[in-house]
Homo-oligomer: A and B are copies of this chain.
Amino acid sequence: MGDGRPDRPNCRAGTQEMRERYLEDFAAGQIFGSGRLVIDKERIKSFAAEFDPQPFHLDENAAEDTIFRGLAASGWHTAAVTMRLLVESEIKPAGGIVGAGFDEFRWPRPVRPGDELRLESEVLEVRPSKSRPEQGLIKVRTTTLNQNGDAVQVLIANLMVPRRPA
């Protein structure tokens, strides 16, 4: 409707078509949301037991006397959950979400048991590759927010995206 392509059968087909985005489909200023995911207390502890076994991620009582002043998710747990939400979001670069490096990566606030996380991803830049004409890079700032709208992670990533095949 109003996009000059009235032959599309319905919105659903339009969505299907946009499932995979090529470099030409991205533009600075685009914003993509995500689903939501609640961080479970037991998963905080089991993730930490495997990957980040420190008192502030493992045990409520031990966590009280640490810099976190209470149980907090490992930052790597927050990062992993962010990736899950990003993969399932509508950003969907063709060929997958493949990072070519990060410009910024920080955890401004701890994630607590029961926090509900969601993402806001903004395209900051779209650059065709000079050396590889079949692809390019998009720079995307993905902010992970809790239920209060506070940022718990900020990640600026450069993602490899193929150009639309001729």
Contact = CB atoms under 8 A, between A and B. Distances in A.
Interface centre among A74, A96, A106 (most CB of B within 10 A): A96
Interface residues of A, number: 33
A77 B160 CA distance: 20
Nearest to A85: B51
Main secondary structure of the interface of A (DSSP, over half): mixed
Contact of A52 (B67, B83, B160): B83
Contacts of A102: 102, 105-106
16 contacts: A51-B80, A52-B83, A52-B84, A52-B87, A53-B88, A54-B87, A54-B97, A56-B96, A66-B96, A74-B80, A76-B80, A76-B83, A79-B79, A100-B106, A101-B105, A101-B106
- Top-8 shortest CB links A-B: A51-B80, A101-B106, A54-B96, A76-B80, A102-B105, A52-B83, A51-B84, A76-B83
